């Protein structure tokens, strides 16, 4: 359930730079960049390398052993490893049997410490109590319950489970208001997770 937009937190003080010149350079850079970029200023090279290594490992796992009903859209990763599309088919015996959907994953340079941005995309957005008509998903592991131990496959399995356990196709009660007022990035939404069922 939507509880309004998240307040942006002030970036914390930089750590790790002790030389005066480095500190001055970081200060000048921080004043000229948005908060999200400021957070990545220090150690960006090692962070980026770690992210790419992790994504390459997960990409290979998703290609070789995808969850049932999930397939990596190979074209989506040809130009960038930080944005994937996963094709999904509703599980047999569920309300979504045979229906085809697409999930868009976007990864920041701080992945896996920062959760991926995940939304349904394309022409067919599943009608579900936890899925808004713009593709945003109310699922706790995408925000507050995210852990670096989780993965793309973990997210896919959670979404499959969420759809498969649905008993009635309907939109969230606040769908119209949310779609009109929300941020394009669902991670900036303040969600209220009040149940684990449909």
pTM above 0.85, yes or no: no
pLDDT given for residue 162 in this prediction = 96
CATH architecture of the domain with range 48-187 = Roll (3.10)
Domain ranges of the chain: 48-187
Mean pLDDT along residues 112-137: 97
Instruction: Name the H helices within the chain.
Output: 20-32, 35-38, 44-64, 152-164, 175-181
Summary mean pLDDT of the chain: 82
Mean pLDDT along residues 99-116: 96
Q: Are strands 70-72 and 2-5 parallel, antiparallel or unpaired?
A: unpaired
CA-CA distance, 41 to 38, in Å (whole number)? Answer: 5
Confidence check: pLDDT of 149 > 50:
yes
φ and ψ at 153, to 5 degrees? -65, -40
pLDDT tens-place string over residues 162-191: 999 999 999 999 999 999 999 898 988 877
Collapsing DSSP to helix, strand or coil, 68 comes out as: coil
Residues annotated as catalytic (active site), given as ranges: 138
pLDDT given for residue 25 in this prediction = 46
């Amino acid at each position: 359930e939507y509880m309004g937009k998240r307040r942006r937190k002030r970036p914390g003080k930089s750590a790790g730079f002790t030389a005066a010149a480095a500190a001055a350079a970081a200060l000048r850079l921080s004043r000229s960049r948005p908060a999200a970029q400021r957070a990545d200023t220090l150690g960006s090279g090692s962070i980026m390398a770690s992210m790419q290594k992790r994504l390459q490992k997960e990409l290979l796992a998703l290609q070789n052993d995808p969850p049932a009903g999930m397939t990596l859209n190979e074209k989506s990763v040809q130009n960038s490893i930080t944005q994937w599309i996963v094709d999904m088919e509703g599980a047999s015996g569920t309300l979504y049997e045979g229906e085809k959907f697409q999930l868009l994953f976007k990864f920041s340079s701080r992945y896996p410490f920062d959760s991926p941005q995940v939304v349904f995309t394309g022409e067919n957005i599943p009608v579900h109590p936890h899925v808004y008509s713009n593709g945003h998903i109310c699922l706790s592991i995408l925000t507050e319950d995210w852990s670096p131990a989780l993965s793309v496959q973990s997210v896919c399995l959670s979404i499959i489970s969420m759809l498969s356990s649905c008993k009635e196709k309907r939109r969230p009660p606040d769908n119209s208001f949310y779609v009109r007022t929300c941020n394009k990035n669902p991670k900036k939404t303040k969600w209220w997770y009040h149940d684990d069922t449909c």
